[in-house]
Amino acid sequence: MAIINKIRFTPRIWFFLGSAGCVFLLSMGAYFQFAQGLEPCPLCISQRIAIFLTGLVFLTAGMQNPSRSGINRYAIVGALTALGGASISTRHIWIQHLPPDKVPECSPALEYMLQNFPLIDTLKLMLSGTGDCAKVDWTMLGLNMPAWTLLAFLMLATLSLVQIWNHD
């Protein structure tokens, strides 16, 4: 018990752990895409971007080791990026639960959209979801990938906000 009392998880360590969690999540996305052959839909890609941005905030906070006011700012920005990702995951779950006749139409591949559509139209499609997003490719313990990603985003947002009260 004495050694546990000596280990102190400062905000800097928690931010580094959060960034490591984001690396893990991105690695799992790459595994499912490249090893398992599951092509990500536009909402999956949007969630990956949100994970990357959250991880970048956490990594920057850990590397900078800011003062108390800086920790508070990083905690708020980290929570906002994670909650933005959570909103994308929520939309993805909602689309997957729509009746088949209410599912949006499928769209062209992202590469095609980036080359031929205005960027704002591509971003709208990425964030609103398409018919590709309604397909459930994988589940674990009764939850699909967007549901697990939503849980991860909520945990990252909580980890981030808790740093406001985690005093050195």
Q: Identify the H or E element spanning 33.
A: none
Q: Identify the H or E element spanning 141.
A: none
pLDDT at 105: 67
Residue 148 pLDDT grade (very low, low, confident, very high; cuts 50, 70, 90): very high
DSSP per residue, 53-78: HHHHHHHHHHHH---HHHHHHHHHHH
pLDDT at 49: 92
Residue 167 lies in a domain: no
**Mean pLDDT for the stretch of residues 129-148:** 75
Query: What CATH number corresponds to the domain at position 158?
Result: 1.20.1550.10
> 133: burial class by Cβ within 10 Å (0-12, 13-18, 19+)?
buried
pLDDT at 55 over 90: yes
Q: Which domain holds residue 116?
A: 11-162
**Within 10 A of 33 (CB to CB), how many other CB atoms are there?**
15
pLDDT at 23 over 70: yes
Residue 18 lies in a domain: yes
**Mean pLDDT for the stretch of residues 36-41:** 84
Which residue(s) pair with 144 in the sheet? Answer: 139
Q: How far is CA 71 from CA 50, 58, 67, 137, 140, in A?
A: 20, 10, 6, 39, 35
Residue 6 lies in a domain: no
Residue 4 lies in a domain: no
Whole-model pTM? 0.81
Residue 3 lies in a domain: no
pLDDT at 157: 96
Domains: count for the chain: 1
